[in-house]
Structure 1
Amino acid sequence: MGSGENAIYAKVSRRLVPFLFLCYVVAYLDRVNVGFAKLQMQADLHFSDTVYGLGAGIFFIGYFLFEVPSNLLLTKTGARIWIARIMVTWGLISSAMLFVDNAATFYLLRFLLGVAEAGFFPGIILYLTYWYPAQRRARIVALFMSAVAVAGIVGGPLSGWIMQAFAGRAGLAGWQWLFLLEGLPSVLVGVWTLYYLDDGIRAAAWLTEEEKSVLERGIAAEARGKPAMKLGQVFSSARVWLLALVYFCFVMGLYGVSFWLPQLIKSTGVKDVLDVGLLTAIPYTVAALTMVLVARHSDRTGERRWHTAWSAVAGCAGLIVSTIYADDTVIAMVALSVGTAGILSTLPLFWSLPTALLTGTAAAAGIAMINSIGNLAGFASPYLVGAIKDATHSTATGMYLLAASLLLGGMLVVCAVKRAQPDLAVEPA
């Protein structure tokens, strides 16, 4: 590939990736800040670990039910308007979490938050297929998804500070201020989306006609190499269901870390809520660097499955070791860093598989279906860990369950998922 083409893609990346990254940071923060709120909220409202786990996970029921319709609506209305709508509504609902005073309102608002956010992540993954061909996509998705890690880096200390510094102000508890102050940025960025994003290459006024032609040829060439699949076939495709199962296994690990990491760190003997927040930044910092480096290497070599599988193995090993040494803060933090890096590295590598196989409306439905089914693990994971903790008074068994899920996902990728395309290697842009 020529340097001129690489320069065009670099221009697209400078325009899109930082903004989409910001969108995902605020999205993920609003999705998982309930994990930090738990440190105060659970005692204030007298919630058991089972109630907390169910409330944290019920988000994904609403997410599951509305994911595919949301992504199909995105193809009808355009990415700019639909993504803006998603962000504004979830920001308002996230802020409204400050009004939770019993289990019923906790469940209701978490469910509505899932409904509001449904379609955001698969919508962005679909949106990136409008701009980048498959051989360039893993590193771009990794840069976008490193927002998950950065949300942990920023969100941990920020959440800890908010709950400590604002506790009692205006008659609100620290966890209430947490939901309010971390929900409002989503509303503001959602409004900004209306003015910043373009629906696709042709609508981008910041590109020349020649640049648009180069990008459109790349997308058209990739589309010709994909098998045609009607919308109805997506829901009966064994390949799509297999990919959904693999993603379910990886998401089990992801939300095990996302929702329980503050509690796991606290259980090692760290008591101060701000210290817990600061320490959560360490695993996410390691993960942010690792996932981009692994995805870059995968793009350069054109190999997807083994990169994904070994990342899953690292995630599995990290959870197991952190559980065995749960009373040793240093060893547990090292293990959690390895585990978090492995878990997060599986995600952008995984998404290079379905986006290399699907196109058009089938891509919108297929990506949303895989993501919605996979994210049911976001319901199962915190609920199971919470229920197990209530029954055994320990998170150990729950962590072993999540580790086994990651290992299964890695094995399925190697043994059952055929390589999407024979040659995905690309020169670095």
Structure 2
Amino acid sequence: MQVPTLDAKILEERSYRKVAWRLIPFLFLCYVLAYLDRVNVGFAKLQMLSDLKFSDTVYGLGAGIFFIGYFLFEVPSNIILHRMGARVWIARIMVTWGLLSAAMLWVSTPAMFYTMRFLLGVAEAGFFPGIILYLTYWFPAARRARVVALFMTAIALSGVLGGPLSGWMMSHFEGVNGWHGWQWMFLLQGLPSAAVGIWVLFYLDDSIDAAKWLTAEEKALLKANIAQDAVGKASLSTGQVFANGRVWLMSAIYFCFIMGLYGVSFWLPQLIKSTGVKDVLSVGLLTAIPYGCAALAMVLAARSSDRSGERRWHIALAALAGCLGLLLSTVYGSNTVLAMAALSLATMGILSCLPLFWTLPTAFLGGTAAAAGIAIINSVGNLAGFVSPFMVGAIKDATGQTSWGMLMLAASLLLGALLVLLAVKLPARGQLR
């Protein structure tokens, strides 16, 4: 293999820096809005349940039923994106989910709650796996952990900003126009998604060739690297992807990790409140701490993994840290300071293992196989978004406390870590066998 000259290395670094600055901040913004609209129901719970007389089981089912719609439409949505292009399809996704999220303000019965959450899942289906797929069009595998981690720190930033913002909206707008604070929150956080969705049409490019902001030399280098990266990847039909054992192993691992993610996302405000913090704005401000710590941990873990080329232990150790944090949160649940430390460790571990995980399936899937495979893994994994809040809610209704639910989530993270270490095999070149 020809060793790159100094000039070639400078050109390569400059080109990828240019692509990263063009794409990542904008996609980051899109994902912040997506994640806020997905999990703001966790903050609405602080007022919504008493206002509408919903039980924790009703809340858990409604929060989770989002992922049934998401699961059913994920694979077709990602295949459409691959064929139609990311620009138009991501715009469609964002506009429809933004309007539906805003419309949550009219929910008044459990049936309406379930219906709106299901439709929101249908609308958003394909967004996250579509972005993961889109990034494979621009960045080779060796650079992907850092890029995906930067994109996925949007989850952490959504927690940093979303908690205080949601708490402020719910307290500041309570009673304005005769509406509850949670109604204003849904409206004010939903409409920006639709607006940014329209912006997508004018900002994103479907491919390297379509990017007018790249020079011909930069385009040639990026395309050559992507072509070289595609060598040895599976060329499978959609049917073959569904029958591929590696895809289902990835789905099982991701399911375990997502159990932890949405356990924290949907229940973190309630866990903080149960330590003795009663004011909704204070709860919102405190939720920023675990997510702020997680944002830093995600970037550092991804950088370490890319530099060393090691994936399995990075993923497993992050999941085990999440497991330990959840366990400690049950031990110190009545002490605000110690509970916050435990929840911060849990959030750091859970959020750090997610971008690292996506280096595994994208290492062996390409083209249509990548579109279908990533969608299958994400949709099956995100069924945990239905199972996790529903089970925690049902356990809380049955026992009167959330600690048993946290133990169930910790066990799921432990299982995911063990699957990565015992079942996933990575040869030296970093691609899945």
TM range (shorter): over 0.9
Output the CA distance in 2 between the equivalents of 1:417 and 1:24.
29
User: Residues 356 and 420 of structure 1 are in contact (CA less than 8 Å); yes or no, is this contact kept in structure 2?
Assistant: no
Q: How do 1:348-387 and structure 2 match up within 5 A?
A: 348-387=355-394
Unaligned runs of 5+ in 2: none
Question: Which secondary structure state, in structure 2, belongs to the residue aligned with residue 122 of structure 1?
Answer: helix
Alignment partner of 1:143 is 2:150: yes
Name the aligned partner's letter for residue 330 of structure 2. T
CA positional deviation for 1:7: 1.1
Quote the residue 2:417 is aligned against: 410
Name the aligned partner's letter for residue 356 of structure 1. A
Question: Which secondary structure state, in structure 2, belongs to the residue aligned with residue 409 of structure 1?
Answer: helix
Quote the residue 1:307 is aligned against: 314
Determine which of 246, 249, 268 is the counterpart of 1:242.
Answer: 249
Determine which of 269, 285, 292 is the counterpart of 2:276.
Answer: 269
Question: Which secondary structure state, in structure 1, belongs to the residue aligned with residue 209 of structure 2?
Answer: helix
Quote the residue 1:29 is aligned against: 36
CA positional deviation for 1:224: 1.4
Percent sequence identity over matched residues? 70
Once the two structures are superposed, what CA deviation does each residue of 1:14-55 show, in whole Å capped at 9, x if it has no partner?
A: 000000000000000000000000000000000000000000
Quote the residue 2:128 is aligned against: 121
Name the aligned partner's letter for residue 321 of structure 2. A
Output the CA distance in 2 between the equivalents of 1:113 and 1:306.
35
Alignment partner of 1:322 is 2:329: yes
TM-score of the two chains, using structure 2 as the length reference: 0.97
Name the aligned partner's letter for residue 297 of structure 1. S
Output the CA distance in 2 between the equivalents of 1:421 and 1:208.
34
User: Residues 59 and 110 of structure 1 are in contact (CA less than 8 Å); yes or no, is this contact kept in structure 2?
Assistant: yes
Alignment partner of 1:339 is 2:346: yes
CA positional deviation for 1:418: 1.2
Quote the residue 1:52 is aligned against: 59
CA positional deviation for 1:421: 5.8
User: Residues 312 and 409 of structure 1 are in contact (CA less than 8 Å); yes or no, is this contact kept in structure 2?
Assistant: yes
Output the CA distance in 2 between the equivalents of 1:373 and 1:19.
27
Alignment partner of 1:280 is 2:287: yes
Quote the residue 1:70 is aligned against: 77
User: Residues 356 and 421 of structure 1 are in contact (CA less than 8 Å); yes or no, is this contact kept in structure 2?
Assistant: no
CA positional deviation for 1:225: 2.5
Quote the residue 1:193 is aligned against: 200
Output the CA distance in 2 between the equivalents of 1:307 and 1:44.
44
Cα root mean square deviation, aligned: 0.8
Once the two structures are superposed, what CA deviation does each residue of 1:336-390 show, in whole Å capped at 9, x if it has no partner?
A: 0011000000100000000111000010000000000000000000000000000
Once the two structures are superposed, what CA deviation does each residue of 1:279-306 show, in whole Å capped at 9, x if it has no partner?
A: 0000000000000100000000000000
Quote the residue 1:133 is aligned against: 140
Output the CA distance in 2 between the equivalents of 1:16 and 1:92.
24
Output the CA distance in 2 between the equivalents of 1:108 and 1:162.
24
Output the CA distance in 2 between the equivalents of 1:343 and 1:112.
27
CA positional deviation for 1:423: 4.5
User: Residues 353 and 420 of structure 1 are in contact (CA less than 8 Å); yes or no, is this contact kept in structure 2?
Assistant: no
Once the two structures are superposed, what CA deviation does each residue of 1:193-247 show, in whole Å capped at 9, x if it has no partner?
A: 0000000101000001110000000010011131332221100111100000000
CA positional deviation for 1:4: 1.6
Q: How do 1:190-269 and structure 2 match up within 5 A?
A: 190-269=197-276
1:248–1:423 CA distance, 2 compared to 1 (3 A): closer
User: Residues 53 and 386 of structure 1 are in contact (CA less than 8 Å); yes or no, is this contact kept in structure 2?
Assistant: yes
Quote the residue 2:119 is aligned against: 112
TM-score of the two chains, using structure 1 as the length reference: 0.98
Question: Which secondary structure state, in structure 2, belongs to the residue aligned with residue 203 of structure 1?
Answer: coil
1:136–1:247 CA distance, 2 compared to 1 (3 A): same
User: Residues 233 and 364 of structure 2 are in contact (CA less than 8 Å); yes or no, is this contact kept in structure 1?
Assistant: yes
Determine which of 144, 152, 159 is the counterpart of 1:152.
Answer: 159
Output the CA distance in 2 between the equivalents of 1:35 and 1:128.
30
User: Residues 11 and 218 of structure 2 are in contact (CA less than 8 Å); yes or no, is this contact kept in structure 1?
Assistant: no
Once the two structures are superposed, what CA deviation does each residue of 1:373-426 show, in whole Å capped at 9, x if it has no partner?
A: 0000000000000000000001011000000000100010010011166258xx
> How many residues of Structure 1 are paired with residues of Structure 2 in the alignment?
424
Quote the residue 1:172 is aligned against: 179
Quote the residue 2:93 is aligned against: 86
User: Residues 45 and 102 of structure 1 are in contact (CA less than 8 Å); yes or no, is this contact kept in structure 2?
Assistant: yes
Quote the residue 1:95 is aligned against: 102
Determine which of 375, 389, 401 is the counterpart of 2:408.
Answer: 401
- Stretches of 4+ moved more than 2 A in 1? 227-231
Name the aligned partner's letter for residue 70 of structure 1. S
Question: Which secondary structure state, in structure 2, belongs to the residue aligned with residue 202 of structure 1?
Answer: coil
Quote the residue 1:293 is aligned against: 300
Name the aligned partner's letter for residue 408 of structure 1. L
Output the CA distance in 2 between the equivalents of 1:233 and 1:339.
37
Unaligned runs of 5+ in 1: 425-429
Output the CA distance in 2 between the equivalents of 1:290 and 1:227.
32
